[in-house]
Copies of this chain bind each other. A is one copy, B any other.
Amino acid sequence: MGSLSVSANSSMAAERVVVISGKEVQRPVEILSATNDEFDFVTVEMKEKMDPKIFASSLRDSVSHWRQQGMKAVWLKLPIDLVNLVPAAVDEGFSYHHAEPDYLMLACWLSKTKQVLPSYATNRVHIGAFVMNDKREVLVVKESRGMFKRMDLWKFPTGFAEDGEDISEAAKREVKEETGIDSEFVEILAFGHRHKQFHGKSNLFFVCMLRPLSFDIQMEESALKEPELEEAMWMPLEEFGAQPLVKELEVLNYMYAICKAKVDEGYSGFSRLPVSRFLDDVRESSFYFNAKDMKSKSLGKDFAEYFAFAKDFPKGVVKFGAKDFAKSLAKSFLKSFPVASTFPCSVSLSILAIFLYCNWYQSL
Protein backbone atom coordinates (compact mmCIF):
# COMPACT_ATOMS: atom_id res chain seq x y z
CA MET A 1 0.00 0.00 0.00
CA GLY A 2 1.90 3.07 -1.16
CA SER A 3 0.39 6.02 0.62
CA LEU A 4 3.07 8.22 -0.89
CA SER A 5 2.05 7.60 -4.47
CA VAL A 6 -0.02 10.50 -5.63
CA SER A 7 -3.24 9.29 -7.24
CA ALA A 8 -4.57 10.75 -10.45
CA ASN A 9 -7.49 12.05 -8.46
CA SER A 10 -5.57 13.88 -5.80
CA SER A 11 -3.20 16.78 -5.51
CA MET A 12 -0.66 17.55 -2.78
CA ALA A 13 -1.52 20.30 -0.36
CA ALA A 14 0.50 19.98 2.86
CA GLU A 15 2.31 17.38 4.97
CA ARG A 16 1.30 15.72 8.15
CA VAL A 17 2.41 12.80 10.32
CA VAL A 18 0.55 9.53 9.90
CA VAL A 19 1.11 6.02 11.19
CA ILE A 20 1.62 3.42 8.47
CA SER A 21 2.33 -0.20 9.49
CA GLY A 22 3.17 0.91 13.03
CA LYS A 23 5.68 3.56 11.95
CA GLU A 24 5.22 7.32 12.11
CA VAL A 25 5.92 8.78 8.70
CA GLN A 26 5.68 12.20 7.14
CA ARG A 27 3.27 12.03 4.23
CA PRO A 28 1.67 14.55 1.94
CA VAL A 29 -1.94 15.39 2.63
CA GLU A 30 -3.80 14.56 -0.54
CA ILE A 31 -6.65 16.86 -1.45
CA LEU A 32 -8.90 15.20 -4.02
CA SER A 33 -9.24 17.05 -7.32
CA ALA A 34 -12.50 18.90 -7.37
CA THR A 35 -14.42 21.71 -9.00
CA ASN A 36 -16.33 24.48 -7.20
CA ASP A 37 -19.50 26.21 -8.36
CA GLU A 38 -21.09 29.56 -7.58
CA PHE A 39 -23.14 28.05 -4.76
CA ASP A 40 -19.90 27.04 -2.96
CA PHE A 41 -20.57 23.39 -3.64
CA VAL A 42 -17.51 21.18 -4.28
CA THR A 43 -17.81 18.35 -6.81
CA VAL A 44 -15.47 15.35 -6.83
CA GLU A 45 -15.84 12.93 -9.72
CA MET A 46 -13.72 9.83 -9.10
CA LYS A 47 -12.59 8.06 -12.24
CA GLU A 48 -9.43 6.06 -11.42
CA LYS A 49 -9.22 3.09 -9.10
CA MET A 50 -7.75 3.90 -5.67
CA ASP A 51 -6.99 1.95 -2.53
CA PRO A 52 -10.03 2.36 -0.21
CA LYS A 53 -7.82 3.20 2.82
CA ILE A 54 -5.90 5.88 0.94
CA PHE A 55 -9.19 7.18 -0.42
CA ALA A 56 -10.66 7.36 3.09
CA SER A 57 -7.67 9.30 4.37
CA SER A 58 -7.65 11.68 1.38
CA LEU A 59 -11.36 12.25 1.64
CA ARG A 60 -11.05 13.09 5.36
CA ASP A 61 -8.26 15.58 4.68
CA SER A 62 -10.11 17.06 1.71
CA VAL A 63 -13.39 17.54 3.56
CA SER A 64 -11.62 19.24 6.44
CA HIS A 65 -9.78 21.48 3.93
CA TRP A 66 -13.02 22.46 2.12
CA ARG A 67 -14.79 23.09 5.43
CA GLN A 68 -12.01 25.53 6.36
CA GLN A 69 -12.44 27.21 2.98
CA GLY A 70 -16.12 27.84 3.81
CA MET A 71 -17.53 25.46 1.22
CA LYS A 72 -21.17 24.49 1.83
CA ALA A 73 -21.34 20.92 0.56
CA VAL A 74 -19.43 18.20 -1.27
CA TRP A 75 -20.80 16.09 -4.13
CA LEU A 76 -19.02 12.78 -4.66
CA LYS A 77 -19.70 10.81 -7.83
CA LEU A 78 -18.51 7.19 -7.83
CA PRO A 79 -18.88 5.05 -10.96
CA ILE A 80 -20.06 1.52 -10.24
CA ASP A 81 -16.63 0.01 -10.89
CA LEU A 82 -15.33 2.04 -7.92
CA VAL A 83 -17.96 0.47 -5.64
CA ASN A 84 -15.24 -0.51 -3.17
CA LEU A 85 -14.88 3.20 -2.27
CA VAL A 86 -18.52 3.56 -1.22
CA PRO A 87 -18.15 2.26 2.38
CA ALA A 88 -15.25 4.66 3.00
CA ALA A 89 -17.31 7.64 1.83
CA VAL A 90 -20.22 6.68 4.10
CA ASP A 91 -17.78 6.25 7.01
CA GLU A 92 -16.58 9.81 6.36
CA GLY A 93 -20.11 11.18 6.81
CA PHE A 94 -21.45 11.11 3.26
CA SER A 95 -24.99 9.99 2.54
CA TYR A 96 -26.52 8.81 -0.73
CA HIS A 97 -28.04 11.47 -2.99
CA HIS A 98 -29.10 9.45 -6.04
CA ALA A 99 -28.02 6.53 -8.19
CA GLU A 100 -28.23 5.60 -11.84
CA PRO A 101 -27.37 2.09 -13.06
CA ASP A 102 -23.73 3.00 -13.60
CA TYR A 103 -22.90 5.43 -10.80
CA LEU A 104 -23.73 6.48 -7.25
CA MET A 105 -23.84 10.12 -6.16
CA LEU A 106 -23.10 10.83 -2.50
CA ALA A 107 -23.24 14.17 -0.72
CA CYS A 108 -21.99 15.71 2.49
CA TRP A 109 -23.38 18.95 3.91
CA LEU A 110 -20.60 21.04 5.49
CA SER A 111 -22.28 24.31 6.36
CA LYS A 112 -23.91 25.03 9.71
CA THR A 113 -26.96 26.48 7.94
CA LYS A 114 -30.04 24.45 7.03
CA GLN A 115 -29.30 21.62 4.59
CA VAL A 116 -30.47 22.72 1.13
CA LEU A 117 -29.06 20.14 -1.25
CA PRO A 118 -31.09 20.28 -4.47
CA SER A 119 -33.47 17.34 -4.66
CA TYR A 120 -33.27 14.76 -7.42
CA ALA A 121 -36.18 13.85 -9.68
CA THR A 122 -39.37 13.27 -7.67
CA ASN A 123 -41.92 12.46 -10.38
CA ARG A 124 -42.49 9.92 -13.11
CA VAL A 125 -44.28 11.08 -16.27
CA HIS A 126 -46.96 8.67 -17.41
CA ILE A 127 -49.03 9.18 -20.55
CA GLY A 128 -52.36 7.85 -21.78
CA ALA A 129 -53.03 8.29 -25.51
CA PHE A 130 -56.47 9.16 -26.89
CA VAL A 131 -56.22 8.25 -30.59
CA MET A 132 -59.39 8.46 -32.66
CA ASN A 133 -59.87 7.66 -36.34
CA ASP A 134 -62.29 9.20 -38.86
CA LYS A 135 -64.96 6.63 -37.98
CA ARG A 136 -65.13 7.90 -34.41
CA GLU A 137 -63.33 4.80 -33.15
CA VAL A 138 -60.67 4.98 -30.43
CA LEU A 139 -57.51 2.91 -30.26
CA VAL A 140 -57.65 0.59 -27.23
CA VAL A 141 -55.51 -2.21 -25.81
CA LYS A 142 -56.05 -5.02 -23.35
CA GLU A 143 -53.48 -6.11 -20.80
CA SER A 144 -52.59 -9.74 -20.31
CA ARG A 145 -52.30 -9.40 -16.53
CA GLY A 146 -52.92 -6.98 -13.67
CA MET A 147 -55.94 -5.09 -12.37
CA PHE A 148 -57.27 -3.99 -15.76
CA LYS A 149 -57.10 -7.54 -17.14
CA ARG A 150 -59.12 -8.81 -14.19
CA MET A 151 -61.63 -6.04 -14.73
CA ASP A 152 -61.78 -6.75 -18.46
CA LEU A 153 -61.01 -3.15 -19.43
CA TRP A 154 -60.14 -1.97 -22.92
CA LYS A 155 -57.87 0.96 -22.11
CA PHE A 156 -55.94 3.69 -23.92
CA PRO A 157 -52.33 2.85 -24.76
CA THR A 158 -50.28 4.02 -21.76
CA GLY A 159 -46.66 4.14 -20.66
CA PHE A 160 -43.91 6.02 -18.89
CA ALA A 161 -41.76 8.71 -20.46
CA GLU A 162 -38.12 7.71 -20.69
CA ASP A 163 -35.24 9.75 -19.33
CA GLY A 164 -35.22 13.15 -21.04
CA GLU A 165 -38.27 12.39 -23.17
CA ASP A 166 -40.93 15.02 -23.81
CA ILE A 167 -44.58 14.22 -22.98
CA SER A 168 -45.55 14.58 -26.65
CA GLU A 169 -42.77 12.24 -27.78
CA ALA A 170 -43.55 9.66 -25.10
CA ALA A 171 -47.19 9.52 -26.22
CA LYS A 172 -46.27 8.94 -29.87
CA ARG A 173 -43.67 6.31 -28.96
CA GLU A 174 -46.01 4.34 -26.71
CA VAL A 175 -48.77 4.28 -29.33
CA LYS A 176 -46.25 3.04 -31.90
CA GLU A 177 -44.76 0.42 -29.55
CA GLU A 178 -48.07 -0.92 -28.31
CA THR A 179 -50.07 -0.95 -31.54
CA GLY A 180 -47.78 -0.15 -34.48
CA ILE A 181 -49.85 2.97 -35.24
CA ASP A 182 -48.03 6.15 -36.35
CA SER A 183 -49.50 9.34 -34.98
CA GLU A 184 -48.95 13.04 -34.41
CA PHE A 185 -49.41 14.92 -31.16
CA VAL A 186 -52.45 17.21 -30.91
CA GLU A 187 -53.06 18.33 -27.30
CA ILE A 188 -52.79 17.54 -23.62
CA LEU A 189 -56.42 17.27 -22.54
CA ALA A 190 -55.95 16.92 -18.77
CA PHE A 191 -53.55 15.45 -16.24
CA GLY A 192 -53.56 13.78 -12.87
CA HIS A 193 -51.02 14.14 -10.07
CA ARG A 194 -50.83 11.06 -7.84
CA HIS A 195 -48.61 10.65 -4.84
CA LYS A 196 -46.89 7.88 -2.86
CA GLN A 197 -46.60 5.63 -5.88
CA PHE A 198 -43.54 3.57 -6.96
CA HIS A 199 -40.98 3.76 -4.13
CA GLY A 200 -42.91 6.69 -2.62
CA LYS A 201 -42.48 9.03 -5.60
CA SER A 202 -45.27 10.86 -7.47
CA ASN A 203 -46.77 10.23 -10.92
CA LEU A 204 -47.96 12.83 -13.37
CA PHE A 205 -50.42 11.17 -15.74
CA PHE A 206 -51.03 13.18 -18.92
CA VAL A 207 -54.05 12.43 -21.12
CA CYS A 208 -52.75 13.19 -24.63
CA MET A 209 -54.78 13.47 -27.80
CA LEU A 210 -53.09 12.18 -30.95
CA ARG A 211 -54.14 12.07 -34.58
CA PRO A 212 -53.48 8.69 -36.24
CA LEU A 213 -51.33 8.71 -39.38
CA SER A 214 -51.72 4.97 -40.05
CA PHE A 215 -54.57 2.62 -39.20
CA ASP A 216 -53.38 -0.99 -39.38
CA ILE A 217 -52.76 -2.40 -35.92
CA GLN A 218 -49.58 -4.48 -35.71
CA MET A 219 -49.33 -6.41 -32.48
CA GLU A 220 -46.11 -8.22 -33.44
CA GLU A 221 -44.05 -5.15 -32.55
CA SER A 222 -45.96 -4.83 -29.30
CA ALA A 223 -45.39 -8.47 -28.34
CA LEU A 224 -41.65 -7.86 -28.30
CA LYS A 225 -41.63 -4.55 -26.47
CA GLU A 226 -44.74 -4.83 -24.32
CA PRO A 227 -45.24 -8.49 -23.46
CA GLU A 228 -47.89 -7.42 -20.93
CA LEU A 229 -50.27 -6.57 -23.76
CA GLU A 230 -52.73 -9.03 -25.23
CA GLU A 231 -54.83 -7.30 -27.87
CA ALA A 232 -55.46 -3.96 -29.55
CA MET A 233 -58.40 -2.73 -31.62
CA TRP A 234 -60.36 0.28 -32.84
CA MET A 235 -63.51 0.61 -30.71
CA PRO A 236 -66.47 3.00 -31.16
CA LEU A 237 -66.04 5.93 -28.76
CA GLU A 238 -69.38 5.43 -27.01
CA GLU A 239 -68.70 1.70 -26.59
CA PHE A 240 -65.45 2.59 -24.85
CA GLY A 241 -67.35 4.91 -22.51
CA ALA A 242 -69.99 2.28 -21.80
CA GLN A 243 -67.50 -0.15 -20.16
CA PRO A 244 -68.49 -0.77 -16.52
CA LEU A 245 -65.10 0.27 -15.16
CA VAL A 246 -65.11 3.55 -17.09
CA LYS A 247 -68.48 4.37 -15.57
CA GLU A 248 -67.52 3.25 -12.05
CA LEU A 249 -64.12 4.82 -11.57
CA GLU A 250 -64.32 8.57 -11.06
CA VAL A 251 -61.13 9.41 -12.95
CA LEU A 252 -61.78 7.10 -15.92
CA ASN A 253 -65.21 8.71 -16.09
CA TYR A 254 -63.69 12.22 -16.20
CA MET A 255 -61.17 11.19 -18.84
CA TYR A 256 -63.88 9.80 -21.08
CA ALA A 257 -66.08 12.87 -20.59
CA ILE A 258 -63.17 15.15 -21.46
CA CYS A 259 -62.30 13.19 -24.60
CA LYS A 260 -65.95 13.31 -25.65
CA ALA A 261 -66.16 17.03 -24.88
CA LYS A 262 -63.08 17.53 -27.05
CA VAL A 263 -64.69 15.70 -29.94
CA ASP A 264 -68.24 17.02 -29.58
CA GLU A 265 -68.13 20.31 -27.73
CA GLY A 266 -64.87 22.04 -28.64
CA TYR A 267 -63.14 21.39 -25.29
CA SER A 268 -59.70 23.00 -25.33
CA GLY A 269 -56.65 21.40 -23.73
CA PHE A 270 -53.02 22.55 -23.79
CA SER A 271 -51.27 22.68 -27.17
CA ARG A 272 -47.54 22.28 -27.58
CA LEU A 273 -45.28 25.07 -28.71
CA PRO A 274 -41.73 23.85 -29.41
CA VAL A 275 -39.21 26.21 -27.81
CA SER A 276 -35.59 26.14 -28.90
CA ARG A 277 -34.33 28.55 -26.26
CA PHE A 278 -36.05 28.23 -22.91
CA LEU A 279 -34.43 30.53 -20.39
CA ASP A 280 -30.71 30.08 -20.13
CA ASP A 281 -30.25 27.07 -22.39
CA VAL A 282 -30.71 26.25 -26.05
CA ARG A 283 -31.95 22.64 -25.89
CA GLU A 284 -35.28 21.90 -27.53
CA SER A 285 -38.08 21.90 -25.02
CA SER A 286 -41.85 22.39 -24.96
CA PHE A 287 -44.29 24.96 -23.71
CA TYR A 288 -47.87 23.75 -23.24
CA PHE A 289 -50.82 26.13 -22.92
CA ASN A 290 -54.39 26.83 -24.02
CA ALA A 291 -53.65 28.03 -27.55
CA LYS A 292 -57.34 28.55 -28.33
CA ASP A 293 -57.59 31.17 -25.61
CA MET A 294 -54.35 32.80 -26.83
CA LYS A 295 -55.48 33.41 -30.37
CA SER A 296 -55.78 37.06 -29.45
CA LYS A 297 -52.97 39.27 -30.57
CA SER A 298 -51.59 39.90 -27.07
CA LEU A 299 -48.41 38.01 -27.94
CA GLY A 300 -47.91 39.74 -31.27
CA LYS A 301 -47.98 36.19 -32.60
CA ASP A 302 -50.75 34.26 -34.29
CA PHE A 303 -51.59 30.90 -32.73
CA ALA A 304 -54.22 30.18 -35.37
CA GLU A 305 -52.22 27.22 -36.64
CA TYR A 306 -52.32 25.51 -33.25
CA PHE A 307 -55.91 26.40 -32.74
CA ALA A 308 -56.97 25.11 -36.15
CA PHE A 309 -54.95 21.94 -35.66
CA ALA A 310 -56.60 21.13 -32.36
CA LYS A 311 -60.04 22.25 -33.49
CA ASP A 312 -60.15 20.20 -36.68
CA PHE A 313 -59.35 16.98 -34.87
CA PRO A 314 -59.99 14.38 -36.10
CA LYS A 315 -60.29 15.39 -39.73
CA GLY A 316 -63.78 14.94 -41.08
CA VAL A 317 -65.33 14.29 -37.69
CA VAL A 318 -65.09 17.53 -35.79
CA LYS A 319 -64.67 19.99 -38.57
CA PHE A 320 -65.85 23.32 -37.31
CA GLY A 321 -66.57 24.92 -40.62
CA ALA A 322 -68.61 28.04 -41.14
CA LYS A 323 -71.87 26.09 -40.89
CA ASP A 324 -70.99 24.44 -37.59
CA PHE A 325 -69.97 27.77 -36.21
CA ALA A 326 -73.33 29.33 -37.12
CA LYS A 327 -75.12 26.28 -35.73
CA SER A 328 -73.20 26.26 -32.47
CA LEU A 329 -73.64 30.02 -32.12
CA ALA A 330 -77.38 29.74 -32.65
CA LYS A 331 -77.49 26.77 -30.24
CA SER A 332 -75.57 28.55 -27.49
CA PHE A 333 -77.64 31.67 -28.11
CA LEU A 334 -80.85 29.76 -27.56
CA LYS A 335 -79.36 27.96 -24.56
CA SER A 336 -78.17 31.16 -22.90
CA PHE A 337 -81.31 33.12 -23.68
CA PRO A 338 -84.30 30.84 -23.35
CA VAL A 339 -86.51 33.87 -23.93
CA ALA A 340 -85.40 33.80 -27.56
CA SER A 341 -87.49 30.70 -28.08
CA THR A 342 -90.55 32.74 -27.16
CA PHE A 343 -89.78 35.30 -29.90
CA PRO A 344 -92.25 35.40 -32.71
CA CYS A 345 -91.00 33.12 -35.42
CA SER A 346 -90.32 36.05 -37.72
CA VAL A 347 -87.88 37.66 -35.27
CA SER A 348 -85.98 34.38 -34.77
CA LEU A 349 -85.81 33.83 -38.49
CA SER A 350 -84.50 37.36 -39.05
CA ILE A 351 -81.75 36.87 -36.51
CA LEU A 352 -80.79 33.51 -37.96
CA ALA A 353 -80.85 34.99 -41.45
CA ILE A 354 -78.42 37.69 -40.36
CA PHE A 355 -76.15 35.05 -38.80
CA LEU A 356 -76.27 32.91 -41.89
CA TYR A 357 -75.67 35.84 -44.19
CA CYS A 358 -72.63 36.95 -42.16
CA ASN A 359 -71.45 33.39 -42.06
CA TRP A 360 -71.84 32.94 -45.81
CA TYR A 361 -69.99 36.19 -46.33
CA GLN A 362 -67.13 35.04 -44.10
CA SER A 363 -66.85 31.69 -45.84
CA LEU A 364 -66.16 33.34 -49.21
Contacts and interface: CB of A to CB of B under 8 A. Distances in A.
Interface of A: 38, 80, 83-84, 86-87, 90, 95-105, 113-114, 118-125, 145-147, 160-167, 189-196, 198-202, 204, 224-225, 227, 249-254, 257-258, 260-261, 264-270, 273, 275, 277-281, 283-290, 293-294, 296, 298-299, 325, 336-337, 339-340, 347, 351, 354, 357-359, 361-362
Contacts of A121: 120-124, 201-202
Q: Chain A's interface: helix, strand, loop or mixed, by majority? A: mixed
A191 B80 CA distance: 36
Given A195-B166, A257-B294, A275-B192, A125 B267 contact: no
Given A193-B286, A266-B293, A267-B294, A201 B101 contact: no
Contact of A99 (B96, B125, B145): B96
Contacts of A290: 190, 267-269, 290
A273 B258 CA distance: 13
A132 B106 CA distance: 41
A296 B252 contact: no
Given A193-B288, A266-B293, A268-B293, A101 B95 contact: yes
A114 B204 CA distance: 26
Contacts of A257: 294, 298-299
Contact of A80 (B96, B266, B296, B362): B96
B114 A104 contact: no
Given A160-B118, A190-B288, A261-B293, A123 B83 contact: no
B87 A261 contact: no
Nearest to A351: B354
A285 B125 contact: no
Given A250-B277, A261-B294, A267-B293, A124 B122 contact: yes
A191 B102 contact: no
16 contacts: A80-B96, A86-B87, A87-B87, A99-B99, A119-B124, A122-B161, A125-B204, A190-B289, A194-B278, A195-B284, A196-B283, A204-B204, A249-B279, A257-B298, A261-B293, A339-B358
